[in-house]
Structure 1
Amino acid sequence: MSDDFTRAASIGALRVRALHAVRGQQTILRGLDLDLDVGEVCAVMGVSGAGKTTVLRVVAALQPFSSGTVEIGDLALKPGALPPESRLRNLRRRVGVVFQSHALFEHLTALENVMLAPIHALGQSRADAAAAAAHLLESLGVATRANAYPRQLSGGEAQRVAIARALALDPQLLLMDEPTSALDPARRAALGESVRTLAAQGRGLLIVTHDAEFARTYADRVVVLSQGTIAE
């Protein structure tokens, strides 16, 4: 275990306690408590600036936090400066992130985007990574787009490729930021069914969304943030 982490007692997908985070002189999160069980879909809602995306960034170790605890399974993040990326490999294997803008690499095909993490994080051969990536793309209904570049994908296709990439290391926790923002109603329903399937496979999903209908239909629980803490 790296000095940047400690062993946690929690066996759930995520446990956050008394979380505080600041940006410059502004306090974004103010004593946030949040639990997420394995197999659960939790939607996080609230007005812009409430701290929703900051929660995801802190849990994914993309942004530091000033105090509190963040436990992913038996791994606990420490407050303070972020450790070097080379020390975050255990976390990267446990936490997958789907960004609002997809953040796919434009110079790589859909298949190559999904292959990237297994090759560099797990040391898989290109052949093994390609086979696993193709299976993920097929499971999400975009196998026929494997050789397409991001600019050639529709919003829904890019979203599903981004999910496949996030699942490439088989994480126990999946974080999604506004996943329905670029989807039409049919694609939104398809994404919802995929979300339920991923949870049934034994993952915890934490989804930031403004889409109240999506949250009501597909989440097990909805929490509403206001001024950096849970209001309801």
Structure 2
Amino acid sequence: MARLEGKVAIITGAAQGMGAAHARRFVEEGAKVVLTDLNEEKGSQFASELGENALFLKQNVTSAEDWANVVAKAEEKFGPVNILVNNAGITMAKSILETTEEEYRRIVDINQVSVFLGMKTVIPSMQKAGGGSIVNISSINGIVGGAVGYTDTKFAVRGMTKAAAVECSHYGIRVNSVHPGVIATPMVVQEDTKAAVEEFAKHIPLKRVAQPEEVTNLVLYLASDESSYSTGAEFIVDGGITAM
């Protein structure tokens, strides 16, 4: 039997990159998937490619109203939600002195507040479903330090995950965080960063960056019933960077 047979999932930031890899695999494993993104053109095209078990919705993840609409549409189309993958996020690589208040608040809203809103909005739907799994995508910068703003929000996602896991355990809802290292997504392998990424890869113990599907394998495990005794934990997929 497919590993997500009969499950309903919401995946944010799913028009491309890791989110798209997760969505494709989830559909292959039997889930009905609501993909959300701000990129309406790419998202709609991708959902059409995935077929009748995929629905695309344009979403601003910092909007409580948008979150309510996504969950309502998911229930209307497929039924109560079993899985939420909070994947949407942005990066920023500036020093504290260079970062404006506006830039800082923007990354906090997108990377951190959106995760809070997603969990808060989806929990009642998961209660209807009799339980569920929330997978929050953080980063290795939620384990070790990095750029201001990005690191702060990824540590926050890790902390929120633990707090929510304890609270939601009473509802049969598991909450875990995933901490990817350097992943070969469009944002990472674009021409202006490609050389730097290739140089950095030499210092990774496994000597390469990861493919999105390698993160998907972990996200799939956490979304499925196979991880039924895992909650409130962080799962690292980084080729050994944080072991150094």
TM-score (norm 2): 0.31
In proportion to residue count, which structure has more helix? 2
Larger RCO, structures 1/2 (Cα 8 Å, 6+ apart): 1
In proportion to residue count, which structure has more strand? 1
